[in-house]
Each structure stands twice: as structure tokens, then as C-alpha cells.
Structure 1
Amino acid sequence: MQLFYYQKTFESTFYLDQDESKHLIRVLRKTIGDKVYFTDGTGCLLTCTIIDANPKKAKLQVSQRQYAPQNDYYIHLAICPTKNLERMEWMVEKATEIGVDEITFMVSEHSERPNLKLDRLEKKIIAACKQSLKTRFPKLNPIRQMSELVMDKTFDQYQRFIAYVDKDNDRHLFDKAEQDRAYIILIGPEGDFSQQELQLAFDHHFLPCSLGKSRLRSETAGLAAVHTLQLKNNLKLT
């Protein structure tokens, strides 16, 4: 199965733009009558049939719509972006493949990058969802101040975590996380969170957690956090 992206899934027939048409007809050698699968990123999977194999403007007809159920858990990753944007692009791509529901970038006291353009990251998300056959795309938020995020009442019903490096912070995220919950986990910059930021998080009921004995780069820590929460909810405990 190959998955393609199209925003207007409410239409019964639609045309692809020239780039997508060329890829579908010339590169993949699809022709009239072939089945092709599309998503709009909201959980909708379309089964379509090619009715005009024009490499400049292919036309498809929708034959079936299916909707992916929501998970019983929700993973929100909040992370300080690194100075090297390519490392963040890699993390977003891989976290999307593993399964993250929402990503927020933060500015903290030791942040290396105070701003971020989201357009390239959104393209990475679309490509990663197509690759991993996901019909529900993660939400990508504009950058926010860490203090503002921590005090946001939206997360009052979430299980809240903050991961940081400390020899006394030895309880792993896997052990602290409860199954079938909404989570938000904060990942700091290369210089970690300041003591004032840690205290602010604790004051707002964020639980300290470890991601293992190794000191991880920010993007590795973000990926480890997402993978850990996925494992917590998908491993069958005996």
C-alpha cells in the first residue's frame, strides 16, 4: 500500500496537481482503473480509482471513505529546538513515524534557537505520515515560552512530565507513566532547564522523570520520550 496526501477529501472526484500527477503516472506507472489511497491527515482514508491518467492533471474518483479511531492515549511533546535545524527536522520526522499527536517548540533560559519556521517541518510530517501509513497527522504548534506552556490550564487533566539530567532523577518515564492517558513531556535544550524553570514545573505538577542513564541530545531525548510512551501503551503486560 502507498499513501498519498490530498486536503479536500469531501469531494467525490478530484484532480491532482502537476507534481503529484507526474509522480503517480510517470514514476509509479499507475494507469486508469488502478486503486490509490489518500488521506487528508485528519484520520480519513480514501480508496480512489484513477479515471484519467493524465501526467499533468490526473483525475481520481473516491470509492470508499474510512476513518481511523482515536487512540485511548495522547502524546504531546514539548521541546526546545536545537541550533541545528536539521536535527529538529530529523526528530519531527522520526517521532511522527513512531507516533506523536502534538509537538510544541519552547523557548527556555538556555535555548539555542528563539524562533523557528514551521513550513519545512510540516512537509516533514506529511512525508513521514505517508511513509508510515498514518492517516492522522500530528499537530504542530508555534513556538512558545516554556513558562507560559507550564502554566497553561489546558494540561490540568494531562499526566505532566519534565525530563532532565540529574543523578537523583532516576525514575524512568516508563515506570511513571500510566496507560491510556493524555501526556505532555517537556524536553529542554542542550544546556538543560535552569533550576528556576524546574521549580516552576514542579509547582505546576510536572513530575520529574528520567529517559535512561545516558546523557542524550535534545532531539534524541524527544524521540526516546515518544517511543517510551508508545511502548507503555502498546505492550501487553502479563
Structure 2
Amino acid sequence: MKEVRFFYVPDAQHREELPQDEAVHALRVLRLQPGDEMFLMDGEGCFCKAAVTVASSKHCLYRIVETLPQERAWRGRIHLGIAPTKDIGRMEWMAEKATEVGFDEITFLNCKFSERRNIRTDRMERIVVSAMKQSRKGWKPQVNPLCSFSDFVAAPLGGRKFICHCYEEIERKDFFTEIGRSTGDDDITVLIGPEGDFSTDEVRLALKHGYESVTLGSSRLRTETAGLSAVMMSQLARRSERALLSCRASADGEPSA
């Protein structure tokens, strides 16, 4: 069976040429030729079946054969706010795996106990795009630059907002239980602190701005593990009815739609 080739092309339906980095991969690595089939992902919920029309040394032009709108596998938006770790490789791993699981947006937080106060969003973008293509996601997660904790919690975000922390003196509820009680398509914003946790002042500031105090469980988790766990829990609680039906059909041995 011939391998299906996916490429990330923003606004794919209104273009006719692959972006430079994608063209390099198509021409030099995959050696695509005119007439070869490929699939384009616009990151906005649509795949396009396309055929190569021109394959030169630097340019790969295409013609769209069919548009394939995708259906979201989860309800509402999942937004993760997280303090980047000192070892940036751990944060890159988390962003990659969270994209494969499925979420909508990530914002990096500059907190009182943060170990890292700068981040290359361009590199994080490339990791997210690669994971999006590998996992065949219809939507590309939005990657935001580093933001101060106080500015982030003061922002007027909709839906339900949670801050995860380990302070026993501040009442906490179970995160998964709380999001499981939600109905409808409410957005979810969940905050994960640095290895030293948020400060108590930061937690209280978030509570003043409408955040709910929660825990991810009894285990002490590393920052990247906590971030991925929060995304996975949100995914489980927000899976669409279509995604659930697809999973049930697969379990029964039926092909999914």
C-alpha cells in the first residue's frame, strides 16, 4: 500500500504551492513527481486531497482534487497554561504528546518559582506541526509566547478555569471529577506550575479571578507529566459523541467512519 503523505499548508484551499519547508521535504526526501497524490492539512479543520502539478528543484505546486472537512473529536477548547521547565526538552516532549492526544492552545507562564524565563516559540511551533501531521489532527494547537502569570489569570477567558497545585492548606477538588460534571461545550483552561509549584500568592490571585482550585491526584507529578495528564483528562471528559461512537464501533470490529 502506498504511503499517505500529509503536509501542513495554512489556507491550503486558496494557494497552489507548498510552503518552502514542506516543499523541501516533498521534493528532496519523498521525491514527489507530477501526478503524485498528497494530502494537505490547513490546521483549521480541513484536509485536502491534492495532486502534484509541478515539481521543480525548489517549488512544489499542486491541484486540489477533493476537500475533506474534519469533525472535532472533542467539545469546547482545551487551553493549557504551563510554566516551562529548565530542561526545555521535557517541555517539547510534552507539547508533542499533548498535540497527539489533542488540545487547542498552549501558553507558557512566567511564575515566581519558574526555572526558565524564555522560550523559542518558533521551535515549539515546528514540534506541534510535526505532531499534528503524525497524528492526523485537523486543527493545529495555537502556541503562545511566554506570559506573566498575573497577566494571564487577569485575562477575560471564557469557560471553566482551573489551577492545579499541591498546597493542602488551600481547599482543592479533584480535577477529573469536576470537568466530568460539566455539561455542554464549555471551554477548559488549566494551569500547571513549575517544579517548585505556584506560590501560595499566585494560587490565591488565580482564585480571585475565577479559577477553581484542583488536584490531579495523590501523586507528585513532574511539570511535563502534569501538563500531559491535564490534557488527557480534559480530552476524556470532552470527547464528542461521534468520537465515542467511533471508539465503540472499533471495539466491536466495525470500521470507523
| TM class by smaller structure | 0.7 to 0.9
1:224–1:124 CA distance, 2 compared to 1 (3 A): same
Matched to 1:59, the amino acid is L
1:214 to 219, 222, 236: 219
Q: Deviations over 1:65-119 (max 9, x none)?
A: 2333455311000001111111111111111111110101111111111222211
Partner of 2:59: 57
Please say if 1:46 is aligned against 2:48: yes
CA distance in 1 between partners of 2:211 and 2:14 (Å): 44
Q: RMSD of the alignment, in Å?
A: 2.2
1:26–1:117 CA distance, 2 compared to 1 (3 A): closer
Q: How many residues align?
A: 233
Q: Deviations over 1:183-230 (max 9, x none)?
A: 100100000011111111122221111112210111110000000000
Partner of 2:113: 110
TM-score after normalising by structure 2 = 0.82
1:172 to 171, 174, 179: 174
CA distance in 1 between partners of 2:119 and 2:197 (Å): 19
Task: After TM superposition, list the pairs within 5 Å mapping 1:80-229 onto structure 2.
Answer: 80-153=83-156, 155=157, 157-167=158-168, 171-177=173-179, 178-179=182-183, 180-229=185-234
Query: Is the CA contact 1:12–1:61 (under 8 Å) kept in the aligned structure 2?
Result: no
Runs (5+) with no aligned partner, structure 2? 245-257
Matched to 2:200, the amino acid is Q
Q: Deviations over 1:140-165 (max 9, x none)?
A: 11211111111212x2x311111112
CA distance in 2 between partners of 1:120 and 1:217 (Å): 22
Runs (5+) with no aligned partner, structure 1? none
Query: Is the CA contact 1:158–1:183 (under 8 Å) kept in the aligned structure 2?
Result: yes
1:126–1:182 CA distance, 2 compared to 1 (3 A): same
TM-score after normalising by structure 1 = 0.88
